[in-house]
Amino acid sequence: MLEVATIAIRLDEPAYFLQERNVVLPPHHRGVQRVQRIIVNRNDRLASYEEILGDANQFRAPEIDIPSYWAHTVGELRDIAERYRLGDDFGASFLAEKATSSTLVRDIITEAEQRQQWKARRSQFGPKSFTQR
């Protein structure tokens, strides 16, 4: 993906992607730094904005990628990233609760067993002809 660099972005600007990575920067920075990279649209070209957030050891959350595909603004993506860094589970507890009460897997297994039983009662005697027992 070819993109140009930009030195400023607006919070109300539609964003394509937000990424946070731990990177080793040139010698004037010490150690590994957390860098936030946001991709926006500038004159019909992708433009990348990077900001150093600080020492990577200060962040407990792993590196993140948040695709937006122009659905969120820069401010919204930054808010999502900050909530992620602070430990918000984004509904993971709700999804885990629903997964325990879901019968989807059980229903799929039952349907597969029924199809297998249906196929087992079929006899084939030639192409395009069969007898149901």
Q: Break the chain into its structural domains and give their ranges.
A: 4-92, 103-132
Tens of pLDDT, residues 23-77: 998 877 678 999 999 999 988 889 999 999 989 889 888 899 999 989 999 999 9
Strand residues in 14-82 grouped as ranges (E): 14-24, 32-42, 45-55, 64-73
With b for 16 or more beta-carbon neighbours within 10 A and e for fewer, the 93-121 pattern comes to: eeeeeeeeeeeeeeeeeeeeeeeeeeeee
| pLDDT at residue 133, rounded to an integer | 59
Asked if pLDDT for residue 110 goes beyond 80, the answer is yes
Tell me what the mean pLDDT of segment 100-119 comes to: 83
Neighbours of 24 (CB within 10 A): 10
